[in-house]
Amino acid sequence: MDGSQFPIARLTLPEAAAERLRTLIIEGELAPGARLNERELSERLGVSRTPLREAFRMLASDGLVVQLPNKGAQVVAMSAEDVRHAFAVMASLEGLSGELAAQQVTDDEVAGLRTLQAEMESAHAQHDLPNYYRLNRLIHDRINAIAGNPILSQTFKTLNMRLHALRFRSNLVPAKWDHAVAEHRAMIDALAARDSTRLRDLLVAHLHTKLQAVLETMETP
């Protein structure tokens, strides 16, 4: 992983370590249920154990890590039932974000989202899943921000943090990844048309599709 992606000069050491660990968890290098070995991760991230432990606490507050007495920290593993419940709520949050965003989006914001979409499709064409997913997240986060509801944004961020690793894995099947790109294209078109009902429905359907893909990957050894 290229450390230049994480601007440590602008973050405290625990924050920088937490951001790197989030990426490792999202991209599957630290799998669900994996124990976080302090010595190995301290060497890998180039930080001492004190900021690393603080990073573990940050990730625990995000719901990505669980700290067990006498066992240390490990990556949270969600059950299929947990995943179903979480995606049901996330679909409602995404749908509401889209509905509100379409009612107040500006032409400049639409243009910015189309630029992100083009960059995301370029990453898809190059089979660059990490960069694709980074841009994917930016698009969803941008739509949520345009909705202009701070309570919605905080709830969205908190729950979505727990689902990023699963959403990332849902793109590992090429056909499903291709379908996700097409769905995003339709979302931006609905937003540009200020069609709040269509955008809400597209986002809800998108999450339902993601859920099925996630459940399939969970069933695969």
Per-residue model confidence (pLDDT) at position 4: 41
CA distance 41 to 189: 43
Average pLDDT over residues 202-208: 95
Alpha helices, DSSP H, located in 46-128: 49-62, 80-104, 107-125
Q: How confident is the model at residue 217 (pLDDT cuts 50, 70, 90)?
A: confident
Residues 121 and 163 in one domain: yes
Q: Which residues contact 108 (CB under 8 A, 6 or more apart)?
A: none
Q: DSSP for 135-199?
A: HHHHHHHHHHHHHT-HHHHHHHHHHHHHHHHHHHHTTSSHHHHHHHHHHHHHHHHHHHTT-HHHH
Count of beta carbons in the 10 Å neighbourhood of residue 168: 23
Same domain, 87 and 30: no
* Residue 210 banded pLDDT, cuts 50, 70, 90: very high
Q: How far apart are CA 136 and CA 123, in angstroms?
A: 10
pTM attached to this predicted model: 0.84
Q: Looking at the structure, do residues 161 and 108 belong to the same domain, yes or no?
A: yes
Regarding whether 71 and 84 lie in a shared domain, the answer is no
Please give the C-alpha separations between residue 32 and each of 74, 128, 151, 167, in angstroms, as whole numbers.
8, 22, 29, 13
pLDDT digits (tens, 9 = 90+) for 74-130: 999 999 999 999 999 999 999 999 999 999 999 999 999 999 999 999 999 999 999
Question: In terms of domains, do 46 and 93 share one?
Answer: no
Domain end residue (candidates: 58, 75, 92): 75
Domains in the chain: how many in total?
2
Whether 66 and 85 share a structural domain: no
Q: What is the mean pLDDT of residues 58-67?
A: 92
Q: At residue 221, does pLDDT exceed 70?
A: no
* pLDDT confidence bin for 173, thresholds 50/70/90: confident
Percentage above 90 pLDDT, the chain: 81
Do 66 and 95 reside in the same domain of the chain? no
CATH number for position 144:
1.20.120.530
Query: What is the domain range of residue 71?
Result: 3-75
Residue 196 has pLDDT above 90, yes or no: yes
Q: Are 206 and 171 in contact (CB under 8 A)?
A: no
Do 201 and 141 reside in the same domain of the chain?
A: yes
Burial group, residue 100, by CB count within 10 angstroms (0-12, 13-18, 19+) = buried
Which pLDDT belongs to residue 122? 97
**Do 42 and 91 belong to one domain?**
no
Output the pLDDT for position 6: 42
Last residue of a domain, one of 50, 75, 100: 75
CATH number of the domain where residue 54 is located:
1.10.10.10
pLDDT of residue 68: 85
pLDDT value of residue 156 = 96
Q: Are residues 52 and 85 in the same domain?
A: no
Name residue 89's amino acid: V
What is the per-residue pLDDT for 220?
66
- The whole-number pLDDT of residue 57 equals 94
User: CA 94, 195, 160: angle at the middle one, nearest 5?
Assistant: 10
**Which of 36, 56, 75 delimits the end of a domain?**
75
